[in-house]
């Protein structure tokens, strides 16, 4: 395994031992991705409890050390995952969270950089695109080493819903959701395909009796999935933890995997100085290359609108 720095490639620190942080630790542990996982939380007792619970399953997985730590335990970590922040409340948009969580990040990021200047920072806390931008500005890290979980989960939801609608395995569905991880996200229908067959060509030969308006229904389900889950159980954490584990695996194993992570835009579709999700090559350096998709005009316009929405919000933070 390659590592971009002198850090231990298999040491993954997690900031925030709440539902997402603890479940991410569980996903990393079960998948055998990490050998050392310090859980760092303002509530040390909570982190200790999560670590104890996870360690009691140690005999069922590959060797891994999980423990409650503090910021000094970020030393030597290859990846630092940030899940800490205020929770999204029922009826609250991700953008409503921005001021609360920006204030929290102004406390967290200096503590991280005090102990580790070489790690890849993986931001999961919502609103993830703005907080990825906040992290980039506060840390001073190069853009390649500041990544947001972005629309990796949204793209998975998109593929999953198409697969159910069309009666095929999700692994044979290829498609992306780009832009903001939130209300202005853009499903790229023009490039979605099943086993290489564009949906416009696949649908006429499909045995399912779908209607054309199913696309709008699917897009709305993807966009509103978090709100639906929060309304029913208070928070989302299983699927997002799996999405984070997928990103971590791509980094640690230097996979050059294409994932819709959030990163700094530098001229894509005329967009500058904001963080958004596009299909991106992810490897041991973090962000490899951001890909420009051949979007149709409607999709490109929506993507630019998504960027403008986030940029206006970020301006109010006076970073």
Tell me if 41 is assigned to a ligand binding site. yes
94 annotated ligand-binding residue = yes
Is 43 among the annotated ligand-binding positions? no
The answer to the question of whether 21 is labelled as a binding residue is yes
Which among 4, 145, 181, 246 is annotated as catalytic?
A: 181
Query: Does 159 show up as a binding residue in the annotation?
Result: yes
The H or E element that residue 121 is part of is strand 120-123
**C-alpha distance from residue 265 to each of 96, 129, 178, 280 (Å):** 23, 11, 12, 11
126 is in an annotated binding site: yes
Q: What is the dihedral of CA 5, 131, 227, 13, to 10 degrees?
A: 30
Is 280 annotated to bind a ligand? Reply is no
Note whether 155 and 179 are within 8 A (CB): no
Kind plus residue range of the DSSP H or E element containing 69: strand 65-69
Residue 32 marked as a ligand binder: no
Q: How far lies 118's CA from each of 72, 82, 230, in Å?
A: 14, 15, 35
Q: Spell out the residues 6+ positions from residue 257 whose beta carbon is closer than 8 angstroms to its own.
A: 246, 249, 250, 281, 282, 283
The reply to whether 19 sits in an annotated binding site is yes
Query: With contact defined as beta carbons under 8 Å apart, do 148 and 171 qualify?
Result: no
174 annotated to bind ligand: yes
Q: Is 146 within any annotated ligand binding site?
A: no
Establish whether 132 is an annotated binding residue: no
State yes or no: 244 annotated in a binding site: no
Give Rg (Cα) of the chain. Answer: 19
For residue 103, give every residue at least 6 positions away whose Cβ sits within 8 Å of its Cβ, in sequence order, or none: none
In sequence order, which ranges of the chain are alpha helices (DSSP H)?
19-30, 44-55, 98-115, 128-139, 152-166, 199-202, 214-233, 238-252, 297-315
Concerning whether 56 is annotated as a catalytic residue, the answer is no
Q: How many CB atoms lie within 10 A of CB 281?
A: 17
Establish whether 155 is an annotated binding residue: yes
Q: Which residues are annotated as a binding site for beta-D-fructose 1,6-bisphosphate?
A: 159, 174
Catalytic residue IDs: 181
Q: Which residues are annotated as a binding site for substrate?
A: 88, 94, 126-129, 154-157, 236
Q: Which residues are annotated as a binding site for NAD(+)?
A: 16-21, 41, 46, 71, 85-86, 101, 124-126, 149
Q: Which residues are annotated as a binding site?
A: 16-21, 41, 46, 71, 85-86, 88, 94, 101, 124-129, 149, 154-157, 159, 174, 236
């Amino acid at each position: 395994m390659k590592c971009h720095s002198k850090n231990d490639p298999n040491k993954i620190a997690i900031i925030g031992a709440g539902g997402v942080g603890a479940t991410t630790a569980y996903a990393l542990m079960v998948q055998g991705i990490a050998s050392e996982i310090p859980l760092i939380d303002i509530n040390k007792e909570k982190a200790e409890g999560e670590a104890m619970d996870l360690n009691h399953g140690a005999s069922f997985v590959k060797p891994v050390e999980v423990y409650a730590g503090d910021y000094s335990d970020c030393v030597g970590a290859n990846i630092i995952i940030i899940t800490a922040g205020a929770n999204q409340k029922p009826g609250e948009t991700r953008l409503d969270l921005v001021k609360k969580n920006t204030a929290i990040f102004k406390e967290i990021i200096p503590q991280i950089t005090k102990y580790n200047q070489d790690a890849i920072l993986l931001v999961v806390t919502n609103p993830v695109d703005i907080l990825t931008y906040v992290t980039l500005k506060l840390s001073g890290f190069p853009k390649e080493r500041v990544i947001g979980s972005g629309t990796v989960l949204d793209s998975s939801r998109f593929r999953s819903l198409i697969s159910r609608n069309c009666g095929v395995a999700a692994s044979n569905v290829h498609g992306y959701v780009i832009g903001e991880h939130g209300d202005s996200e853009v499903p790229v229908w023009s490039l979605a395909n099943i086993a290489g067959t564009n949906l416009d060509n696949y649908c006429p030969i499909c045995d399912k009796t779908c209607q054309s308006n199913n696309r709008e229904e699917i897009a709305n389900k993807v966009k509103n999935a978090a709100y639906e889950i929060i309304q029913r159980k208070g928070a989302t954490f299983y699927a997002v933890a799996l999405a984070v584990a997928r990103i971590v695996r791509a980094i640690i194993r230097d996979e050059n995997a294409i994932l819709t992570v959030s990163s700094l835009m530098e001229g894509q579709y005329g967009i500058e100085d904001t963080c958004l999700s596009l299909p991106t090559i992810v490897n041991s350096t973090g962000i490899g290359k951001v890909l420009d998709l051949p979007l149709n005009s409607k999709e490109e316009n929506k993507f630019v609108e998504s960027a403008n929405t986030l940029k206006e919000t970020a301006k109010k933070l006076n970073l």
